[in-house]
Amino acid sequence: MPELPEIEGYLAALRPRIVGETLTDVRVASFSLLRTFDPPVEAVVSETVVSVHRVGKRIVIDLTGELHLVIHLMVAGRLKWADSPMSIPKRGGLAAFDFSSGSLLLTEAGTKRRASLSVVRTTDLPGVDPGGIELADATLEQFSDALCTERHTLKRSLTDARHIAGIGGAFADEILHRSHLSPTQMNTNLTDEEIAALFEASKGVLAEWTRKRIDETGTGFPTKVTAFHPDMAVHGKFNEPCPVCATPIQRIVSGGRETNYCPTCQTGGKVLKDRALSRLLKDDWPKRLG
C-alpha cells in the first residue's frame, strides 16, 4: 500500500505537471471506482488545477469551481504519467485524467477493486479526512493521545488512520524497529520514555523516507511504488540479517498481511507466534532463536 512517503512522492511529481493546467477530460473505465455521484464526475471537466495536496493517504486535486478530485489508491492502486492522452488498459485500468499538459492514468493490480475516486465540493472536503493527526505537525502529547485512543497492539495503533495519518504496515515495521519496540506490545503498557522514543522514530522514519522517495524520482514520475525497498531495515527482510545486530529478521503473517521484526532488537530474543505456523508446529514452535 502506498503510504505517506509514496503519496508525497506522487504529489511532488504532480505539482509541476498539473498545477495551473486545465483538466480537459476524465475517462472512467471502471464505474465501481466512483464513490460519489453529486457533483457528477463530468463537472470537473474544463476546470483548472489550483493545487494538489494530501489528506491522510488520499491524493486531492483542487480545482476551480470549488471542486476536488479525491483519489485513494488503497493497496494496489498506482498512478502513471504520459505527456499525451493514453489508452486505458483493459487489465487493471481504472481511469485516465487528461490535462492540457499530459495524462494521468490510474491502475490497480489484482482482481480486487479497492481504489476509489470521489468528486467533492469544498464544503464537503473535510468529510474525506479519516481524522488522524499529521505527525510532522503533532506534539508529543497529541501523539500519545492518538496512539492510546483505543487499546490495541502498537502495530495496529500506528496504522489506524482514524488516529494517526499516513502510516501503513511497511513503515510501522520500520518505526517499531527503530524504537526497539515489539509490534505486539499493547499501547497501554508503554512507559513515557517508550512513547517519546516511538514519537521520534515515527517522525524520523516518515521524514527520511519521504525525502528518499522524492530524491530517487528526481524530475521524473514515480514508476516503482512498492512497500519493499532494499534500504529498509526489517520490512520484507524475512531471514535476512538485522542491520543493527545481524539477527535473522522474523515475521508474523495474519490475514494476508506480514509483520517483520528483529527478535534481538525488539522482543528480547523471543520469537513471536505466527498464527498459521505455530498452529501447525504446536509444541515444536521455537520460543527463542538459536
Domains located in the chain, CATH noted:
4-128 (3.20.190.10), 135-284 (1.10.8.50)
CA distances from 80 to 8, 17, 276 (A): 15, 12, 37
Distance of CA 174 to the CA centre of its chain: 13
In sequence order, the β-bridge partners of residue 59 are 54, 71
Looking at residue 277, what is its pLDDT? 41
> Worst-scoring range by mean pLDDT, 27-36, 129-138, 258-267?
27-36
Looking at residue 281, what is its pLDDT? 34
More confident residue, 224 or 56: 56
Q: How far apart are CA 81 and CA 85, in angstroms?
A: 9
CA distances from 68 to 37, 48, 203, 219 (A): 13, 11, 28, 25
In sequence order, the β-bridge partners of residue 102 are 99
Looking at residue 226, what is its pLDDT? 83
Q: Model pTM? A: 0.91
Looking at residue 139, what is its pLDDT? 97
Average pLDDT (25-31) is: 91
Of 222, 224, 264, the C-alpha closest to 241 is 264
Name the packing angle between helices 140-147 and 192-217 (round to 10°): 100
Average pLDDT (3-11) is: 96
Average pLDDT (105-117) is: 89
Is residue 290 predicted with pLDDT exceeding 60? no
Looking at residue 289, what is its pLDDT? 55
91: left (phi over 0), alpha (psi -120 to 50) or beta: beta
Q: Is 17 exposed, middle or buried (0-12, 13-18, 19+ CB in 10 A)?
A: middle
Is residue 283 predicted with pLDDT exceeding 80? no
> Worst-scoring range by mean pLDDT, 75-79, 184-188, 271-275?
271-275
For residue 3, name the pLDDT band (cuts at 50, 70, 90): very high
DSSP state of 241: B
Across the chain, what does the average pLDDT equal?
92
Looking at residue 253, what is its pLDDT? 86
